[in-house]
Structure 1
Amino acid sequence: MANLAPSFVSSPSDSCRGSLRTSRISAIKLKVRETEQTHLNLGSSSRKKQGLRMNASKETPELMQGIRKDECKTAEQTEGYDSFSEMKQRFLTFKEKKYLGNLEFYRRLAKSQAPEFMVIACADSRVCPSVILGLEPGEAFMVRNVANLVPPFESGPSETNAALEFAVNSLKVKNILVSGHSCCGGIRALMSMENADGDNSSSFIKNWVIVGKNARLSTKEAASHLSFDQQCRHCEKESVNRSLLNLLTYPWIEEQVMRGNLSLHGGYYDFVDCTFEKWTLDYYKTISRGNKDMIAVKGRSFWS
């Protein structure tokens, strides 16, 4: 029995050690296979991604080619370089002949501004008020938007009425000029709209020019017998008058007009024959009519 005990104990121990070694070897082999499979999967995934990138490149070869070409271009080779080169020369000419020649004037402007006019004009590149009306720096606080429209007070905040608030309440301008013009694309878009209240469109332009819907409606009533081009011309002037009426919906503007501190003017520039028509809103006659859709004017003049 004494000899059997050691033999009974040692035999299972050797067997266990053998089993453990076998298990470790199997585990190592399994780990190796898993690692290899992982590498294979990663390689396959990488090839798939590479294939996707290749497909994407094949779908937009012009874009990829354009990017590579643009990376090789210098600033002097870009398409807009010549235009900005000319603009640079214009700026330097302005600096030499106007700025440096009137240095004290421009230094005073750097400290403060006190413009007599506020001008609301169209964003059209052909009708720059400073060029047409000879406005110098510091003379006019200016807003330009599509179709030179003034939204009514109840429409809520916009860049135009924010500028109005600053010009009237802070700068204390004496005159507001709303200037329309011939061949206005914004007015043409307004007149082309099928629905007088808007087309429920996602177009920013349509959603903006609908501000002039009352001008469109009155034009359709008064000039329905005319051609579309003639109706647009009629609306170009009518929209100016509607904007003047909209100005009176701002309490702080009407207050200044009523006190005689502020005058509201309409203008129309015809760049086909280079003429300018100017008129002034007659506040007391306008409000005495009791009709918010009617405007009385005075001091109409024609510059040609």
Structure 2
Amino acid sequence: MTTSQLSDAAIQNLSKLFLSEKEEYLDDVAAAKIDNITVEMQWTRQTGPAWPPRPLSSSDDPVKRIVDGFKYFKTNYFDKHPHLVKELAQEQSPKFMVFACSDSRVCPSHILHFQPGEAFMVRNIANMVPAFDQLKHSGVGATIEYAIEELGSLWRDQEADVSSRKWFSSLAKVIAEAEGGSADFEDQCESCAREAVNLSLRNLQTYPYVQKAVSDKTLALRGGYYDFVNGIFELWELQSTISDPIIIQSS
């Protein structure tokens, strides 16, 4: 039997067990569990594998929590579903664009059971979408335009070079080109993506309350980059130093 046939057979058997034995042998808790498992298997059969649950971590170290979380994802999702990973490495063609609140308790991927590549997401405070304005709210506007007009077509060939570069921060692009100007287009895109993270870390430090929290050691800033083709996650701390001043004296 194929995997699909085995899955269908398991669902049918669970359904029969639930219907025939619920009243005679099973208490309400066990019956509810069988019902939930049956529904989950049917859903997974239609939409693909479910995201793995968050691993339990006994460590209070936030960096270790991130590392442990990625290792769990790599083992339980990435390595187990290479066909899905391979498809996503070629392109993305999401059917949904979701605006959601940044509230940590409201995760669209979990609530709506989205799989990677299925939904393009924007999260902010109160999931607000401002009215169109060419001078204000450029971040949200660019996101909407990108999702509607460009998504799924930018990375197919190097002819997309001009249109894709406009989506990167100009400073990040300049730094990436300066450090790897002779590299091929894909390598430059990766360098630019990493440098965009560094730019965001620098921008975060322009907020007075972030500066104070970092100074008081109640907040630590980290940058991250996920290589979804090879299943590699990088986590780093932005190192910034102040050089010795050049002293200029009048003659």
TM-score computed with the length of structure 2 as normaliser: 0.36
Q: Which has the higher helix share?
A: 1
TM-score computed with the length of structure 1 as normaliser: 0.31
For the pair shown, which has the larger CA radius of gyration, 1 or 2?
1
Q: Which has the higher strand share?
A: 1
Structure of greater relative contact order (alpha carbons < 8 Å, 6+ residues apart): 1
